């Protein structure tokens, strides 16, 4: 039996929910520490009247929540992969 170290601060659930509910504002990006990407998403939302930003946020929120805790932590918090 292998013991897996749980990340001390996995932001998967909060980032996923914020991406689905408030993705148009890029809040999930700011939660993960991606300030530049959050601002870009906010600007895209303003330019497209919220359409593109909300779709991107919804997709990213779903992607975040379908990853395992370990995958999410490794890809988005340690690896700092900013998009999808």
At 13-67, the pLDDT tens digits run 999 999 999 999 999 999 999 999 999 999 999 999 999 999 999 999 999 999 9
Tell whether 1 is covered by a domain.
Answer: no
Give the integer Cα–Cα distance in Å for 70 and 74: 6
Q: Contact, 82 vs 34, CB < 8 A?
A: yes
At 41-56, the pLDDT tens digits run 999 999 999 999 999 9
Tell whether 6 is covered by a domain.
Answer: no
In the chain, the number of structural domains is: 1
In the DSSP assignment, the letter for residue 23 is G
Tell whether 2 is covered by a domain.
Answer: no
What range does the domain containing 29 cover?
A: 12-78
pTM for the full predicted model: 0.83
Interior/surface letters 42-74, b for 16+ CB within 10 angstroms, e for the rest: bebbeeeeeeebbebbeebbebbeeeeeeebbe
The residue written with tokens 């659930």 in the block is: 13
């Amino acid at each position: 039996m292998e013991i897996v170290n749980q990340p001390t601060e996995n932001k998967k659930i909060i980032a996923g929910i914020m991406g689905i509910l408030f993705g148009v504002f890029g809040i999930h990006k700011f939660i993960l520490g991606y300030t530049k990407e959050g601002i870009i998403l906010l600007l895209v939302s303003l330019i497209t009247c919220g359409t593109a930003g909300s779709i991107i946020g919804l997709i990213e929120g779903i992607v975040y929540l379908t990853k395992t805790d370990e995958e999410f932590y490794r890809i988005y918090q340690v690896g700092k992969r900013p998009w999808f």
